[in-house]
């Protein structure tokens, strides 16, 4: 059996048992009285925490969980049971309080209730930053009267500070009353010293009010009136001298300003002449630019929109799929009265790399009657739009794509084909909504300037 005496249990408390503890009430791992005892299927008792630690160690080493006494394999869920009867027996043991000077004895289960009020228990000071530990019965006196970290209030500013720093605060407290540093006899708070000495103290040294006139006297504030009375003639002479000097400087400034004004007037006259010349030149230039723009407007094509109505589209698509008709194109159209000659083409079944998936669109450039006066190369934005034929225009979801077209002037009567968009619209999307109505499809092409 374990003899009586001081025992440190795994859960962190220390007790003095007044009676011996039987061997069967000791944990077979830590050899101390059982704490939260558990019983294994093979009949061995352990502290719950000791057995859990043992089994966790086995698991970390990839070992099967087993009893540390007879190595019997254990199932955590089925083979380990709380031993409440043993736990109640241990909690009924009589112990003595471990606090020095305390004579209390009682059952182990009463320990926590006792320690919560034990006047001999060592506790920490409740004042912030204080590291002192003391018996509970002396805590109130320490916290209230002797702790260096207890909070006290400054007599001057009523702000709270720890006792150990209050003296340093008082020395620097802005509300602390002090005597005027000039020894004028007035008591003021520290934060108002500068204001007092600069604006009110009768013993502060100040400059004569006529300092800007040339009086360099430094006198105490209380003697200013006497100084002004005794030096009245001197101040008058200084004022007259300053007035004459200022008047002379003012006349010099006025003369300089008059000269500058004359120079500015001369420059203004020169600028007016230059403005007239520039105005005449701008009028002539504007006329020339207007003539050039008028000439260029003849050469430049206007923006235009062409709508191509494609009837019998389902048959056209089927022929393309069958390989009997790869492409179709619209009749020619012009981008203006004297514009570029173009035609729109489609490949209903896509080009060779996109067969059976997409409808491709392109422009066809044709030799026109006005090509010699148009601007080349052709450099415009082409916007292709598949029109959704919903009756409600607000609900329409047109399919549109834009590209930049850059093409040289046609050199022969043979049309040049420029593939623009290989994947304009997929066959799957083409068959949704109302893109094809009464076997008719509308494709709009807008040719416009770059923007």
* Residue in the block written with tokens 């002379």: 248
Classified as helix, coil or strand, 103 is: coil
DSSP string across 331-398: PPEESSTT--EEEEEEETT-SGGGTTTEEEEEEEEE--TTGGGS-SSEEEEEEEEEPP--SSGGG---
Under 8 Å between Cβ of 368 and 334 = yes
Give the integer Cα–Cα distance in Å for 6 and 338: 115
Joined together, the tokens standing for residue 100 give 């020095």
Bridge-partner residues for 309, per DSSP? 442
Give the integer Cα–Cα distance in Å for 311 and 23: 105
Classified as helix, coil or strand, 440 is: strand
> In the prediction, which pLDDT does 395 show?
92
Under 8 Å between Cβ of 220 and 200 = no
Please name which of 372, 400, 396 lies closest in space to residue 386, comparing C-alpha atoms. Answer: 400
> In the prediction, which pLDDT does 4 show?
37
> In the prediction, which pLDDT does 5 show?
40
311 Cβ contact partners less than 8 Å away, ≥ 6 residues apart: 439, 440
- From first to last of its 451 residues, the chain has per-residue pLDDT tens of 343 343 344 443 345 676 678 888 899 999 888 989 999 999 999 999 999 999 999 989 998 899 999 999 998 889 999 999 998 998 888 888 888 899 898 888 888 899 898 999 999 999 999 999 999 988 889 989 999 999 999 988 899 999 899 899 988 898 889 899 988 889 998 888 899 988 899 988 989 888 888 888 898 888 888 888 888 888 888 888 888 888 888 988 999 999 999 889 899 989 988 988 898 888 888 777 665 555 444 434 456 899 999 999 999 999 988 888 888 999 999 988 889 999 999 999 987 665 668 999 999 888 888 889 999 999 999 999 999 999 998 999 999 999 999 888 888 776 666 768 989 999 999 999 999 999 999 999 999 988 7
Q: Using alpha carbons only, what angle is made at residue 288 by residues 282 and 292, rounded to the nearest 5 degrees?
A: 140
Give the integer Cα–Cα distance in Å for 367 and 355: 31
Give the integer Cα–Cα distance in Å for 446 and 393: 19
Report pTM.
Answer: 0.40
Residue 168's H or E segment, with its range, is: helix 166-172
> In the prediction, which pLDDT does 8 show?
40
């Amino acid at each position: 059996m374990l003899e009586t005496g001081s025992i440190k249990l795994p859960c962190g408390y220390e007790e003095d048992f007044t009676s011996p503890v039987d061997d069967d009430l000791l944990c077979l791992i830590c050899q101390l009285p059982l704490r939260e005892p558990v019983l294994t299927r093979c009949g061995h008792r352990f502290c719950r925490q000791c057995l859990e630690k043992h089994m966790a160690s086995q698991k970390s080493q990839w070992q099967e969980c087993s009893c540390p006494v007879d190595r019997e394999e254990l199932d955590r869920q089925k083979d380990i049971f709380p031993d409440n009867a043993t736990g109640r027996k241990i909690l009924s043991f009589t112990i003595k309080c471990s606090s020095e000077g305390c004579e209390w004895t009682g059952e182990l289960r009463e320990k926590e209730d006792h320690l919560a009020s034990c006047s001999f228990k060592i506790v920490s000071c409740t004042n912030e930053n204080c590291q002192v530990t003391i018996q509970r019965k002396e805590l109130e006196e320490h916290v209230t009267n002797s702790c260096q970290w207890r909070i006290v209030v400054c007599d001057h500013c009523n702000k709270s500070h720890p006792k150990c720093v209050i003296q340093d605060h008082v020395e620097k407290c802005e509300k602390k009353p002090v005597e005027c540093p000039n020894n004028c006899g007035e008591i003021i708070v520290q934060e108002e010293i500068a204001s007092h000495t600069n604006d009110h103290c009768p013993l502060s040294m100040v400059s004569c009010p006529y300092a800007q006139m040339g009086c360099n006297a430094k006198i105490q504030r209380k003697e200013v009136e006497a100084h002004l009375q005794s030096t009245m003639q001197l101040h008058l002479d200084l004022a007259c001298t300053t007035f004459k000097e200022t008047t002379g400087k003012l006349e010099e400034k006025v003369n300089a300003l008059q000269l500058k004004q004359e120079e500015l007037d001369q420059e203004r006259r020169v600028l007016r002449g230059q403005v007239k010349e520039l105005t005449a030149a701008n009028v002539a230039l504007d006329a020339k630019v207007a003539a050039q723009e008028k000439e260029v407007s003849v050469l430049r094509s206007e923006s235009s929109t062409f709508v191509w109505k494609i009837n019998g589209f389902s048959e056209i698509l089927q022929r393309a799929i069958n390989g009997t008709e790869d492409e179709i194109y619209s009749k020619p159209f012009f981008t203006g009265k004297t514009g570029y000659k173009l035609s729109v083409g489609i490949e209903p079944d896509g080009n060779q790399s996109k067969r059976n998936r997409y409808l491709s669109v392109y422009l066809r450039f044709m030799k026109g009657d006005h090509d010699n006066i148009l601007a080349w190369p052709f450099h415009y934005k082409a916007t292709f739009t598949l029109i959704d034929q919903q009756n409600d225009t607000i609900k329409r979801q047109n399919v549109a794509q834009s590209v930049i077209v850059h093409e040289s002037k046609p050199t022969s009567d043979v049309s040049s084909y420029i593939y623009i968009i290989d994947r304009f619209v997929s066959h799957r999307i083409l068959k949704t909504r109302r893109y094809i109505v009464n076997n008719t499809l509308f494709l709009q092409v807008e040719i416009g300037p770059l923007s």
